[in-house]
Structure 1
C-alpha cells in the first residue's frame, strides 16, 4: 500500500482531500493573537475581514508533531509526502525531520515539490492516480520529478506592503511603487526557493500581457494545466483568464480561491497564475 500525503498549500481541506484518498496537514495563520488552521478553523473571506479591521497576519507550517502523527497513522504503508516548495516555507524541513523520528523511516519519501498552490495540487492528484494505477513508490517519485520541471508561477500582489513585510521588496522600493501605483509581478526563482521580481508594469492589463508573453515563450499550450488562484477577487481572476485565452488556444484553465496562508503572502486581492505540463493519467 502506498499513501499520498501533503499540506494545505494544495488548496485542499482535510475533508476534500480525503475524498481523493489523500491526507493533508493544514498550514496555519495567526491574526489578532489567535492561531487558526486554514480551511479547518478559518476561511479566506473571514480572514480578510479580520485583516480589514487593521490586524496583521503571519503564517506557519504544520507542527512536527502533526506530521509524525500522520506518518504513524499508516504504519504498514509506504508514504509519499509531497511538500510545498522548500525555502518558501519550513514545511519540507519539518516533513524531513518528522521522517527521522518515526520507526521504519525508509518507507517514507519526502518530496520537495518546488511549487505551491495549483501545480502542487496537480502533483498530489497525479500521485494518487499513479497509486491507483499500480505504480511503485520509485516510479511515482520519478514521474513527479519530471513534472516539476515543467511548472512556473507568477504572483500579482494587490499591495506592496505584503511584499515588503515578507522580505520580497525593500521598504524604499515598496514605498515608491505604492506612490506611483505600479503593478508588480513576482515569480519563483530558478531554484524555486523564493519569490523574485519578474516585472513591474503601470497597469494590470500590461502585467497580464507580459505574463502571457512569457508563458507562450516557454511553450505553454493546451497540453498544460493553468491555474489562476485569487484572494477573493474573482473578477481579477476572470480578467486574467480572458487574457490567457486570447494568447493560448484551447487553454485549460482552472480558477481556485487562495487560502489564508497565501493571502498572507500576497495580500487580499492578490492573484497567482501558474502552469504545469499535464500528465497522461489526468488527461
Structure 2
C-alpha cells in the first residue's frame, strides 16, 4: 500500500511540475566546526589561509591549533591572514552544482573583519550552474558555526532559500558576545579594532573587554577592567543585562585562545550560576588567534538552535 501511495505521489509531482530545491551549505574554517559535525550535516568548509614566518597555512588542514599557538610564541614576524583563492571558491560552487544542488548558502565571517563575503558576492555571477547566496554572519567562531548548522538542518528539512535566509537573519539578531583580551597589540596592528586608541589598555596592564558593535558590526573596545577575575565578572554582569525579558531559549558558549583550563573553570562557574542554560566550550583557532593573540577568553550566546523545530 505504501509503495502504491508513493507511486501516486511521484506521478502527481511529475504532472504538476513540483521541484523540491536542493540546497547546499558552505561556511569557512573560522566556524570551528568539528569535522564529524560538518560531515553529519553535509556542510562544506572553506579553509582560510594565514601566514606565519612567511609560510602559508590553510586553517584546519596544514596545522593544528596547538601547533599554531606554539609557533605564535616564537614567531619572528607578525602573523597575518588571507582569503581563499577565487578559483578554489568557483570550483567548489561549480562542483556543488554538478552534484545536483540548485542553490548554495555560503555563510562567512563578518564583513567588517574579512572581505570574503564581498569576494563571493563579486564572483557569484561567474558560477552558472548553481545559485550562490553569500550570507554575512556578522560574527565568526562557533556562533557562526551554529548558523551553518541551522541552515543545513533547514535545507535537509526541505525549506526554501527565502525561509532559510529569513531564519538565519532572525538567529543572527540574537547573537551577542564579549571578549576578555590579554593584549590589544595583535588587533591594533592587524587593523581589526576600530577604536584603536583603546590600545592604552595594554599599556596600563588592564584587561580590555571587546565586542562587536551592534550598529557598525565592528570590533570595539567596550570596557577596561583590572584583573581577569574582575573582567570575567563584568562579562557575566553584561550577560545578565542583555538577557532581561528574553522569551526564547539561549545557548551559551565559552571561548578560549589556547587557554582551555581557565575556560573549563569559567564554564563550571557559569553552569552553577545559570543551571537552566546549556553551555558549550569552543576555541579561537589560528585565523582568529592571529588577531586576538593567546590566552583570550570570551562568552557568547544566541538562540538555542537545538530547540528549534525545523
Q: Same fold (TM over 0.5)?
A: yes
Counterparts in 2 of 1:74 and 1:40: CA distance versus 1, 3 Å: same
Following superposition, the deviation at residue 250 of structure 1 comes to: 2.0
Whether the 8 Å CA contact 2:184–2:202 is kept in 1: the answer is: yes
Counterparts in 2 of 1:187 and 1:65: CA distance versus 1, 3 Å: same
Structure number with larger C-alpha Rg: 2
Alignment pair present for 1:11 and 2:36: no
Runs of 4+ in 1 over 4 A off after TM superposition: 13-16, 169-173
1:260 aligns with one of 286, 290, 295? 286
Following superposition, the deviation at residue 16 of structure 1 comes to: 5.3
1:72 aligns with one of 75, 87, 94? 94
Whether the 8 Å CA contact 2:90–2:126 is kept in 1: the answer is: yes
Counterparts in 2 of 1:234 and 1:282: CA distance versus 1, 3 Å: farther
Question: What number of residue pairs does the alignment pair up?
Answer: 281
Alignment pair present for 1:28 and 2:55: no
Q: Which structure 2 residues correspond to residues 261-280 of structure 1 after superposition, within 5 A?
A: 261-279=287-305, 280=307
Superposition RMSD on alpha carbons, in Å? 2.3
Following superposition, the deviation at residue 208 of structure 1 comes to: 1.2
* Structure 1: distance between partners of 2:300 and 2:216: 13
Q: Gaps (5+ residues) in structure 2?
A: 1-21
Whether the 8 Å CA contact 1:184–1:201 is kept in 2: the answer is: yes
Q: Which structure 2 residues correspond to residues 197-212 of structure 1 after superposition, within 5 A?
A: 197-212=221-236
Counterparts in 2 of 1:74 and 1:127: CA distance versus 1, 3 Å: same
* Structure 2: distance between partners of 1:99 and 1:66: 13
TM normalised by structure 2 equals 0.83
Cα displacement string for residues 218-271 of structure 1 (whole angstroms, at most 9, x for unaligned residues)? 117782111112111012212332443354332211111221001111101112
Cα displacement string for residues 7-36 of structure 1 (whole angstroms, at most 9, x for unaligned residues)? 112103667523421101111110011000
Q: Gaps (5+ residues) in structure 1?
A: none
